[in-house]
Amino acid sequence: METSNRALSTAILGGSFDPVHRGHLAMAEAVIDAGVVDRILFLPCHVSPHKTGTVATSEQRLEMLRIALEDGAWSRAAISRYEIEREEPSYSWQTITAFSESAPEVSWYWIVGTDQWNSLDRWARPDILQEKLHFIVCPRGEDELVERADWYCTVIPFEHPASSTAIREDFEGHLDWLTPGVIDFCRKEGLYG
């Protein structure tokens, strides 16, 4: 909760969410439970610079996120349409610049996995990311993290087997990775098989 002597802290969890699954939710919950931030902002991208596209439309992915958060009765999470409504591709430095300008009172964090943390120097404008963000890295297992001097980073170990790729390839075989409402939505919309 926001207090009078501390700015609200928000961690951005970006991705394609094609589909959103229990692993995404568990990662967000681990960050909240660690007491690092006050809330999570789910940020579905329009088209990630690192991916070729999505199966579900932007509106379907937004709706799946809404349903998943409702299924979990999340009160400390929100969804942003910012990157969905931008022209493609989505670059993190542009997003955090816009967010920090529109809400300068917020302490901004960005949640990444080991692979993303280790490749930050290949992201567009890493100097801006370094200046404006505190990263939360959620490594799996014994993943080794690249040392980054002068970057703000908190490590929160995390493990969950869910994979959007695996769900897209075998939807019925991975129903336990999805919330009930997301399963119903996917079946109704004819997504993933």
Alpha helices by DSSP H, listed for 72-146, are 92-102, 114-118, 126-132
Rounded to two decimals, the pTM is 0.92
Sheet of strand 107-112, all strands in order from the earlier edge strand to the far edge = 77-79, 39-44, 9-15, 107-112, 134-137, 152-155
What are 58-107's pLDDT values in tens digits?
999 999 999 999 999 899 999 999 999 987 677 899 999 999 999 999 99
The overall average pLDDT reported for the chain is 91
Strand partners, 78: 41
At residue 129, does pLDDT exceed 90?
yes
Ramachandran class of 136: left when φ > 0, alpha when ψ lies in -120 to 50, beta otherwise: beta
Sign of the alpha-carbon torsion through 171, 138, 32, 40: negative
Fold entry, domain 9-161:
Rossmann fold (3.40.50)
Q: Per-residue DSSP letters for 5-65?
A: TB--EEEEEEE--TT--HHHHHHHHHHHHTTS-SEEEEEE-SS-TTS---SS-HHHHHHHH
Contacts for 92 with CB less than 8 Å, ≥ 6 apart: 14, 110, 123, 124, 129
At residue 4, does pLDDT exceed 60?
no
- Reported confidence tier of residue 3, pLDDT bands at 50, 70, 90: very low
Is the omega angle on the peptide bond into residue 161 within 30 degrees of 0, that is, cis?
no
